[in-house]
Structure formats: structure tokens, C-alpha cells
Chain A
């Protein structure tokens, strides 16, 4: 999997690279419009992560050019501008997703995986982790071939954890992923705790292990260490 990151903030680009590299993705970073156009002309990428505001151009133009030549590349816009018109324009010209800065790396990873999944194995997906198997196209989760009966939020939660498996996923990022970032729910972490508790119980009851590890104060991690 090759990913091109177009981001003028070097530090942010390096964070993204370092997070995504652990997923065995090959990441390349460019920090301006000219380099980005050049790279796109020369090579093929599976996905493009692009900032709209670049020192020498507009990220939207990169997307337009890319769509003309290599229409099957997945595109995620990352922008500091949270304006609806930008979002609509970006999605209109062919971007797959739009993330507003500052975002959680785990959220970016989740959106990226979802795009790649949609593009590469249409209708034939399976995500596995230890005894857990998820069929995203059918919203089904199995543990040892026993189907789990999950609520929508529990499903979103296990999906999010599996995509970011073996990583610490923060409570804040999960809460935003589940309830959206418009919600100023101070006590949503308590609700999150309850969801985790229920999910653990359902997985264990179906024959799985306690894969969801609590990371002190920070959040949770899906792992097979225990």
C-alpha cells in the first residue's frame, strides 16, 4: 500500500508517517504543491492524504488533476478550515473524506482503512483479529464463528479498535468517533466505559479472550498480550 502525504507542516506529516508506517504502509511525504504534482504524475498511489492550504497552491487542484488521470486513488482531505463549503467542494471534486485539524491519528487511520477497503475488495472484505472476524459489508462480527449481537455503537467501537489494533486508542478519540465532534458530552467517557464493559463481556461469552486492554488513564488497546 502506497500513500502520499501532502502536508506543509513537516511535524504533522512525520507524525502521520510514523503512525501509518506501523500499518505496513509505505508513506511518502511532500510539503508543497509542485512536488505533489510531480509525484502524482510519476507514481501510482493507493491513497492521497492532502492538506488544502499549501504554500504554493491549493490542495483541491491536486485532487482535480489526480481525478483526471488516476481516478481510482483514494483521497482524504485534511484541513484546518472547518467550513461546510470547503467540505462540499472537496467531496464534490472526488475526495472520499474530509478531516478537520486537529484530528486523532487513530481516526485518520480508521478513515483511511475504510477507503482502502471500499476500493480494493469490493464486497469481499474480512477483517480478522485473533478469534474475532468482522464482515464490514454486512455489519457482522463473529467470535469463533459465533455471531455477536451488538448495538450500532458497540459495532463501531470494535471496528475502531480492530483497525487501530495493538495501539493505544484514546478515550477522546473513541468518544468523537462514536458520537461525533459536535457533541460536548463531558461524561461520555463513562458511557464509553460501559460500552467497553459490555463489549468485553460479549466477546468473552462467545469464547474469545479479554482482548480489550485498559491503558491507565489514557484509553484502550486491542491486543493479544494477556
Chain B
């Protein structure tokens, strides 16, 4: 939810509560004003009538309006003075509607005259009043709310512009561009602080990243050179025949271990390079071509394992935007994996189209949990001499691009599917 939406919701919510409370108070005030006005009117009328009765025996001629009734009765005898101001409901004979009335009854003896005055005054329908008030309030509410939202929008657009600018810069920031974050100045101190902290943090991250990158390169360099020495010395040792079988076995173990170690080192360096996104050059890579060349390279191994390779590859090249080296490493790992974990006389199916690449191979059920197959140093068989880095390299590569990977084992077939999300 956007900040502006959120604050608008709060504005709307609190305004509604405020307007409801305000409306109720307003209603009561208006209502009591109207009531007291009606009472005052009745009293004034009564006094006018009384005045005239006393002075002239005649009943004043009030222009009656709808529902307004005045009844004056004279008595021969003395009356007990009464005075009452009350509400009642009378049924209108024409429309059969019940109409609330306020009436005043007064009986008195003044100047030898005994009389009673009854004045009935219809009250304004309370419901009608409520509706009118509500309607006016609603219009006001709506108008105020719209102006609130508009003002809120304008203010936040202006005040938050620095923030959105910062956000945009962070989103677009690529550590590989070789610089820390550069942000606009702001005169709002909170945003200024935020920008300062972000710039400091990004500079720190940038320097750590550079250190890490250098470490990766240095580590690989520093390890590869001693390995190269060991390897070359062993190779020379082998040439200095005659070695007996026992010596040869020892040298062979050492040579194998060194080779393994150097491959491991190379793969770990590759993994950390991928993680550090050091392969940021991309090109339109022709997957058909890579698949064909990898298959050609493994042709003899496939033939010797008597594997049946079926390809479902379109004639038009499938182009995908990624780093060419990584694309090759990806395909090599996937296909060699399918060859390696295959059974004799097994099969490999490769399906490629614009949306996906799926490579499936026949094979035995895995001993390990499929969920951990992308973890480092996880091997199908614990006894295997494989490095166990192939699939984690695959995963690291697909994570770099908009590619998803899934694994299924069904009817003795392992299937790895890459979906190209565009």
C-alpha cells in the first residue's frame, strides 16, 4: 500500500468518526433550538391572545396555517388556573398520518373573565429534520474529504519527492558500476539523515564488496600457484622412472588429490564470482548451438554408455539474454549431469523452446533428499567422487537471470526443467 493511500485511509477513517460525533451533537443542538423556539412561539401567541381577550372580548384573528389550531373557550364560572406545555401526537384526518404536536393549555380568570386557551402547533417532523441535517453534513463531509485528500496528495508529493527519488536510485543501484550510492540533497532533515545513512552504508558495502572481490581473485591466484607447482613437480616425478608400483600408487594418489583440489578451487571461485555478479556482460546466447556443441563433445561418452539421446529442439535458434560463459557452464553442467547419473542403455531427452529447457534422463532413485540436491557438496551417492558442486552452480546461474528451475522424479526418470520467465 502506498503511503499516500495509507494516510488517505486514516484521513477518511478519522473524518468519518469526527463527522458522526459532530453530526450527533449538531442534531441535538438544532433540535433543542427548534424546541425552544416553538415554546417561545406558543408563549408569545398565548400572551397576545390573553391581552386581546382582556381588553376587547374578541378573539384575535390569527391566520391559521396548516395544522395550527387555536381554541379559546369562555366560562361562566370561575376556573382553576392551569398552565401546561406538552407534546402530543394527533392523526391527521386527511392523510391519516400521525403528526407530532406541541400544545399549550392555559386557563385563567382575569378581569371577571374566565377562559381557557388551547394552542396546537405542529412540530417539524424530526425524521425530516434529521435527514436534512444528515444530507447537509454529508455534502460538507464529502467536500472536506475531497479537499483533504487533494491537499494530502499535493503535500506528500512535494515533501516525499526526495524520498521517492532516493528509492528510485536505490532500486537502480548496481554495485558493479564501480561507485557508491549518490543521492540528491534535501532540506527535510529526516530525509537528509536517511540519505546520509544510506550513502554511508552503500559506501561500506561497496568497499566490502571490492575487498571480497579482490580476496576471491587473490585467493584463487594464491592457491592456484602452489597447486601448479605441486602438480608440475609430481608430473616430473612420474617421468623420473623407474618407480615401483607402490611408489607409483602413492604418486598417483597425490596427483589425483591435487587435480581434484584445483578443480574444487576453480569451481568455488566460479560460484563466488557468480554470487558477486561478476558476470554482468550479457549477450543474446544461442542455446541450440551450445546444446549441440556440448552433445558433440560428449558424443563418445554417450555412445559408450549406449544412451539414447532424443532432442526436441526447434529449427529456429532459441535466444536468451545472459552471459555467454555462464550459459555454457549451465548447459555443460546440466547435460553432463544427465550423462553421469544415467544407467547403461538409458536415455536422455532434451526439450527446448522459447519458454523452457527440460533435460530428463533415466536413472535410479536418489539416495539423498531432492530438496537438498542444489546444496553445495551434496552428492547423489555418498561414495561418489564427484565434487557435488555442479547443481549448485546451475542454481546460482539461474538465480542470476529470470529463470526458474524445478526437479521431478517420475517413472525412473529425473527431469530438470528451466522456465525462462520473461
Residues of A at the B interface (CB closer than 8 Å) are 9, 11-12, 15-16, 18-19, 22, 53, 80-84, 100-106, 151, 153, 167-168, 170, 172-173, 179-188, 190-191, 194-195, 215-219
Contact = CB atoms under 8 A, between A and B. Distances in A.
Interface centre among B228, B229, B340, B386 (most CB of A within 10 A): B228
B354 interface: no
A15 B245 contact: no
A179 to B, nearest CB: 6
Q: Is the interface of B mostly helix, strand, loop or mixed?
A: helix
- B249, B267, B336, most chain A CB atoms within 10 A: B336
Contact of A19 (B222, B232, B329): B232
Interface in B214-249: 217, 220-222, 224-225, 227-233, 235-236, 238-239, 241, 245, 248-249
A218 B221 contact: no
Interface stretch (B50-58, B187-195, B251-259, B404-412): B251-259
B16 interface: no
A153 B296 CA distance: 11
Instruction: Give the bracket for the number of chain B residues in contact with chain A.
Output: 35 or more
A105 B239 CA distance: 11
Given A101-B228, A168-B239, A188 B263 contact: no
A183 B390 CA distance: 9
B239 A80 contact: no
B301 interface: yes
B63 to A, nearest CB: 105
Contacts of B232: 11-12, 15-16, 19, 102, 105
A59 B108 CA distance: 129
Given A100-B266, A104-B231, A104-B235, 9 more contacts: A9-B228, A53-B221, A82-B266, A103-B231, A170-B235, A184-B263, A185-B340, A218-B255, A219-B238
B239 A167 contact: yes
A11 B229 contact: yes
A184 B269 CA distance: 15
Given A84-B325, A217-B252, A153 B300 contact: yes
Interface of B: 217, 220-222, 224-225, 227-233, 235-236, 238-239, 241, 245, 248-249, 251-252, 255-256, 258-259, 262-263, 266-267, 269, 273, 297-298, 300-301, 304, 325, 328-329, 332-333, 336, 339-340, 384-387, 389-390
Nearest to A166: B239
Contacts of B329: 182
A187 B236 contact: no
A216 B233 contact: no
A10 B256 CA distance: 24
Contact of B235 (A15, A184, A186): A15
A82 B248 contact: no
A214 to B, nearest CB: 11
The 6 closest A-B pairs by CB, nearest first: A15-B232, A102-B228, A80-B224, A101-B228, A80-B221, A102-B227
B332 A101 contact: no
Contacts of A103: 228, 231
Nearest to A107: B235
B225 A9 contact: yes
Contacts of B336: 183-185
Given A191-B301, A194-B304, A186 B384 contact: yes
A171 to B, nearest CB: 9
- Residue of A22, A102, A106, A188 with most chain B CB atoms under a 10 A cut-off: A102
B385 A186 contact: yes
A172 B255 contact: yes
A216 B245 contact: yes
Q: Which of A18, A104, A183, A191 has the most CB of B within 10 A?
A: A183
Contacts of A184: 263, 267, 333, 336, 340, 386-387, 389-390
8 contacts: A15-B235, A22-B239, A102-B231, A102-B258, A103-B231, A167-B239, A195-B300, A217-B252
A5 to B, nearest CB: 12
A106 B234 CA distance: 12
Contacts of A194: 304
